[in-house]
Chain A
């Protein structure tokens, strides 16, 4: 039952069927069923995974032999958490879309994207990785362009320009590296074995870095993100923030740094500084946002900045922090966007001025939201703390001042998150919010899962950390060996 190819194929097949389903209700049910089967199929991987540094569940066949392209996939301790994140969040995202009358096409795009994401997280061949990267991108363009808000066309153009530029640079780098490989293939291991001179590694670093930095996004490559997150339908925002940005982080860990260690040695510090700037910069911008979705979008830049800083610090604590925080951020951000979607849908606005006093009429929503907010500000015994603690510790090993600046997220995060919580939930109710309905059963289900995860991972993070520990340790040592 641990056939990786089937795991990737299932959402594609589901998407094909869904493309022809025009009835809202059956589309929902079918999409949910497919995503739950996908999640179910992930379990054998978890059970059979051996927590060492090796690649497991490997599958390989020649794809386009004339060009040396293989369909080569496998899972190690760095992939597995992200596969789990993808397959775990997709059912929640699909459920969260039930409040809207989406037909089959919408869910088809989600599932199609899922397949692309899974390919990105499991690809061991650079071409397959690139294909997955693009497959994940195209559906989200459509989701935003077809179901987005009023400014969707303009915003989507910006999103497209940014990501297209990134993809193009990455493609050039991949083809260049491929041409250097003696055996003429696109294998990850072949790329790892290349011994390029420092000058080459430097531009390769930038080519990959820009692609990944845009996706995450890292300051100053982030300005597509707040607009796109805000204009996208909430399910799309969840896909973008919850899963897709992890493609960028994963790319840095799996491809960028091990392939161009000398480039990393030259520019890693700059990258880390950009990440830390992003933490403070985006947090400060979040202070004064009135649109709740845009506020969380900026908060996401801050959180991802810290994840990036942990990665570029390149030590076991920083990377382990990044691994677990990718999961945590996915959970938190889906929770935040879902709660805010519930509020915005019932009130017909995303402006905080129009909110307030909801805690009085919807106490369950208020409590759940508080737990999610506390997870987002990294309170101990929530998932966010474990990640933030490890990340900051990793950054601290790199340099104490980076940790101090990055650590400002503790304070700034509390400022904007609690401000939002206060404006949305507390205070006296107004004409609209005084008869606000508490959550229904579908909403309860999604939010309960999220709350359980927020607290569960916060109390017992060990199993998750255990999955990636060996792989991360080996990767760190490999790169450090080259650079020393």
Chain B
């Protein structure tokens, strides 16, 4: 099965080419058949690959298989090969990318049915899957980087899918540029890695790194640079502002790229490079600090947003922050566990939001919604499950993964746990706020919208149901021993994190402490849900229209802490001013002024150049040719 792994990324690429080239001739049914079909086959192959890896793990093996495809670049001692690495970590990611990818492809058949760019959309989605699989499967940092930048391209294309709206096109550009800032960090890190270890291959780098001392300066630099890359792709402070804007893309894109898969690439990359980070405690502290700050900042913004997708976007940024917190406190499995459960419930929530937007004739403002549960029962129920899951209420999946991160944070520092706990309060509140504003109370939209309210077609609701089931039971993947579980995911991933565990020792927390922590956070989530219920259902509060002045704190949150404005003032405008200064003053005035002075002097003294103005071109060419022939002839006759 491992031998066929190259087919997994190749299939979506073929789908992209067929649908891309045939977009004007293929009927919609065939486009969706091809677009979904290639991802389905890739998923089935991934299942096969996964079962092979699983069997190897059950037999107690390390279960890492390398599959070279071809040599890509070589120059001097530099060798880059395009090759794949299948191990427990990439095997799980394969399932997520192709599995959730497939569900979202199916959903898109319904969601994009009326769109003129139907085939183009499927082609781009397939291309995304291709690059995401390269990112996940790469056996070295360069192949990972190909995927890393490739998904950035697809993100650009899909955010700007409705490019006629120029603010959408600007959002796409912003996403690409901010990601590029991170990518430069990635590239420099890669150069450092090559200079230090002489290879880009994971299997070559990590064993060498494991022999290095904790606190090594080179490793510190490498990991900081890699983390810069992660802040771009995974939308962390300071590079997070592109992700909320990215909601300009069609909702399936938000679910697939900007929630379930691409934005978790930073976590995947750090989990993959865990040994480098474990040996750089300073970087880990930075990661944890940035993670928790992002989690809190984004959560504080999410509580006042009224656009249903914006709430989910900030929620995603916040949840990604939790994952980085997990990585920072050494909970590699926990962070990755949260990647998995988040993929389930956040994809579900976005698709649910898409279903709502679809029913609401493209309305995204929750102030115009309300009372939708009787019109969209399936969407409501599945989103309810998603909300409970993300809020961290047991026994749904989010509870388990978030608990694992928070337990590690507690063991690391009480302060981090408290901050994480506060973030969890926010999370429960804004999620239930969203749920209640959307589905409860009475309908607040126009009567025109009300007439069109309908539950979405089966292509959209079936993926919702599947994801709801996964979001509900996903926690079973890694039940902690305190709850009588066997840490199945942790055991499966053990070889990936083995070197790190050997350095730091097994994580241990008293069961009694764990029960208390779990109890507090679960209870708090329920309390926040009740608070939200009192506010938005019992009191039927509706957020104010934009014109109504808000208190300073609410305004700060509603205006997203003015981060965009800050960047505009600190970076964008100074650079633009510099551009004008360089052009007008330095280039045209300074350098050119000198040259023009010389030129005038030369022009005065040589009238010959003036011939250019009235010359006969044929004559000049003729003279030129004669000259050359004369020179050549001279040589031939004298040689």
Interface residue ranges, A against B (CB under 8 Å): 12, 15-16, 19-20, 61-65, 71, 105, 108-109, 112, 131, 135, 138-139, 141-142, 145-146, 153, 156-158, 160-162, 220, 222-224, 226, 281, 284-289, 315-317, 320-321, 356-357, 359-360, 374, 379-381, 385-386, 389-390, 392-393, 396-397, 400, 403-404, 407-408, 410-411, 414-415, 418-419, 422, 425-429, 460-462, 465, 469, 473
A288-B576, A396-B191, A414-B180 known; A71 and B635 CB under 8 Å?
yes
| CB < 8 Å neighbour of A415 from B153, B177, B588, B595 | B177
A411 and B78 alpha carbons, distance in the complex (Å):
25
Whole-angstrom CA separation of A187 from B188 in the bound complex: 42
Query: What total of A-B pairs shows CB separation below 8 Å?
Result: 196
> Beyond A105-B617, A374-B153: 19 further Cβ-contacts under 8 Å?
A12-B628, A61-B636, A64-B634, A65-B639, A71-B632, A108-B621, A112-B621, A160-B609, A223-B588, A223-B595, A286-B579, A288-B576, A288-B580, A316-B76, A381-B150, A404-B184, A407-B188, A426-B160, A427-B169
The CA-CA distance from A146 to B616 in the complex, in Å, is 10
| 15 sample A-B contacts, Cβ–Cβ < 8 Å, listed by A number | A63-B638, A65-B639, A153-B612, A157-B603, A284-B578, A288-B579, A316-B75, A317-B76, A385-B149, A404-B188, A427-B166, A428-B164, A462-B74, A469-B75, A473-B76
Q: How far is the CB of B79 from chain A (nearest CB, A)?
A: 11
- Give the distance to chain A from B462, nearest Cβ to Cβ, in Å: 32
Most buried by A among B160, B177, B580, B617: B617
Q: Which residues of B contact A411 (CB under 8 A)?
A: 177, 180-181, 184
A169 to B169, CA, bound (A): 49
Q: Which residues in B have their C-beta under 8 angstroms from that of A226?
A: 587
* Residues of the B chain whose Cβ atoms lie less than 8 Å from the Cβ of A465: 73-75
On whether the beta carbons of B582 and A392 are closer than 8 Å, the reply is no
Measured between beta carbons, the chain B residues less than 8 angstroms from A396 are: 188, 191, 195
Q: Are B617 and A142 in contact (CB under 8 A)?
A: yes
Shortest Cβ distance from residue A77 to the other chain B in the assembled complex, whole angstroms: 13
Q: Could you give, for residues 610-639 of chain B, a 1 whenever the CB lies within 8 Å of some chain A CB and a 0 otherwise? A: 001100011011101100100110111011
Interface contact B638-A64, CB-CB below 8 Å: yes
Cβ-defined contact, B621 with A105, below 8 A: yes
Q: Are B621 and A62 in contact (CB-based, < 8 A)?
A: no
In the complex the two chains form, is A285's CB within 8 Å of B75's CB? no
Residue of B nearest to A392 (CB): B187
Using CB atoms, name the residue of chain A closest to B173: A418
Q: Which among B146, B149, B591 has the greatest number of chain A C-beta atoms within 10 A?
A: B149
On whether the beta carbons of B599 and A161 are closer than 8 Å, the reply is yes
Taking CB atoms, residues of chain B closer than 8 Å to A284 are 575, 578-579, 582
Q: Is the CB of B575 within 8 A of A287?
A: yes
Determine if B184 and A422 form an interchain contact, defined as CB atoms under 8 angstroms apart: no
Number of interface residues of B (CB under 8 A): 71
Considering the complex, which residues of chain B in the window 118-155 have a beta carbon less than 8 Å from any beta carbon of chain A?
Answer: 145-146, 149-150, 153
Residue B71, interface by CB 8 Å: yes
Contact partners of B163 in chain A: CB under 8 A: 359, 425-427
Our pick among B145, B618, B639 for the contact of A19 (Cβ within 8 Å) is: B618
Which residues of A have CB within 8 Å of B72? 460-462
Given A357-B164, A426-B160, residue A109 in contact with residue B621 (CB < 8 A): yes
- Cβ-defined contact, B177 with A418, below 8 A: yes
Within the assembled complex, what's the spacing in Å between the Cα atoms of A146 and B617? 8
- B173 to chain A: which residues have CB within 8 Å? 418-419, 422
Which residues of chain A come closer than 8 Å to B575, judged between CB atoms? 284, 287
Q: B443 an interface residue at 8 Å Cβ cutoff?
A: no
Q: Nearest 5 pairs between A and B by C-beta?
A: A316-B76, A63-B635, A427-B166, A380-B146, A426-B163
B596 close to chain A: CB less than 8 A? yes
Smallest beta-carbon distance B148→chain A, Å: 8
The answer to whether A16 and B73 have CB atoms under 8 Å apart is: no
Contact A287–B576 (Cβ < 8 Å): yes
Q: Is the CB of B166 within 8 A of A162?
A: no
Determine how close the nearest CB of chain B comes to the CB of A134; give it in whole angstroms.
10
Residues of A within 8 A of B195 (CB): 396-397
Contact status A390-B625, CB under 8 Å = no
**Shortest CB distance B604–A (Å):** 11
Q: Is the CB of B624 within 8 A of A112?
A: yes
Chain A: minimal CB distance from B367 (Å): 28
Q: How far is the CA of A396 from the CA of B193 in the complex (A)?
A: 12
> Which chain A residues lie closer than 8 Å to B592 at the CB level?
158, 223
Is B84 in the interface zone, CB < 8 Å from A?
no
List of A residues within 8 angstroms of B214 by Cβ: none
B194 at the interface (CB under 8 A from A): yes
Q: Is the CB of A142 within 8 A of B639?
A: no
Contact between B617 and A317 (Cβ–Cβ < 8 Å)? no
Q: Are A400 and B188 in contact, with the CB atoms below 8 A?
A: yes
Is A360 touching B582 in the complex (CB atoms < 8 A)? no
Q: Given the complex, which residues of B lie within 8 Å of A287, measured CB to CB?
A: 575-576, 579
Tell whether B553 is near chain A: CB-to-CB under 8 Å. no
B562 at the interface (CB under 8 A from A): no
Smallest distance from the beta carbon of A320 to chain B beta carbons, Å?
Answer: 4
Q: Which residue of A lies closest to B623 (CB)?
A: A138
Q: Which residues of B contact A162 (CB under 8 A)?
A: 595
Bound: A407/B183 CA distance, A:
10
Docked CA distance A109–B618 (Å) = 10
Pair B635/A426 contact, Cβ less than 8 Å? no
The contact of A61 among B176, B609, B631, B635, by CB within 8 Å, is: B635
Q: How far is the CB of B529 from chain A (nearest CB, A)?
A: 42
B558-613 residues with Cβ-Cβ distance < 8 A to A are 575-576, 578-580, 582-583, 586-588, 591-592, 595-596, 598-599, 602-603, 609, 612-613
Q: Which residues of B contact A408 (CB under 8 A)?
A: 184
Contacts of B70 in A (CB 8 A): 460
Do A317 and B78 have beta carbons less than 8 Å apart? yes
Q: Known contacts A108-B621, A403-B188, A410-B184; is A62 also within 8 Å of B598 by CB?
A: no
Query: Which chain A positions have C-beta within 8 A of B165?
Result: 427-428
B67 part of interface (Cβ distance < 8 Å): no
